[in-house]
Amino acid sequence: RYVRQLQRLQLLFSPTAADSRGARQFVEEAAVDFARQHPDVVLYVSPRAGSAPLLLAEYLNGTVREELIASKTSEEIKQLATKLAGQSGLDIIRIRKPFHTDNPSVQGQWHPLTNKPSALTVQGPRLQLQ
């Protein structure tokens, strides 16, 4: 029961600019392999002239992450893409606890009165047989 959190990967690059050479090589060589290895991710490739090459990743939460791929080799772009595919859409901020449970206590949470004899069993000066 595993659902990949990445919805769409949009690759924007321009067919002539020099810094999107790695993006063009990636599209020629590795894009088809990537799409086959991750069958539940949709990969859009849109050549656009005039803007810097970008890799847009949309997740099921609705968060959109943009990564610049200007002057990067196609292998680096592939690694980036796999990294983005493994992430989920949560914000990358400091998390306070490395664990999260919905049911933290199974045998009942400890309070200072567990494992202590109750007032009925304690023998005091007044609670003897009358």
Partner 1 sequence: VAKTSLTSPPWPEVKLPDPVEEAKYHTEVVQKVNKMIATGQYGRLFAVVHFASKQWKITSEDLIMMDNVLEAECGDRIRMEKVLLVGADDFTLIGRPLLGKDLVRVEATVIEKTESWPKINMRFWRRHNYQRKKIIVNPQTVLRINTIEIFPCLS
Cβ atoms 62, 90 nearer than 8 A: no
110 binds partner 1 per the rule CB under 8 A: no
Q: How far apart are CA 43 and CA 99, in angstroms?
A: 33
60 binds partner 1 per the rule CB under 8 A: no
Burial level of 17, CB count in 10 A (0-12/13-18/19+)?
Answer: middle
Choices 19-27, 48-56, 84-92, 114-122 (CB under 8 A): range interacting with partner 1: 84-92
21 binds partner 1 per the rule CB under 8 A: no
Joined together, the tokens standing for residue 112 give 């200072």
In angstroms, give the least distance from the CB of 50 to partner 1.
Answer: 31
Residues that bind partner 1 (CB under 8 A): 1-2, 4-5, 83, 85-88, 92-95, 98-103, 106-107
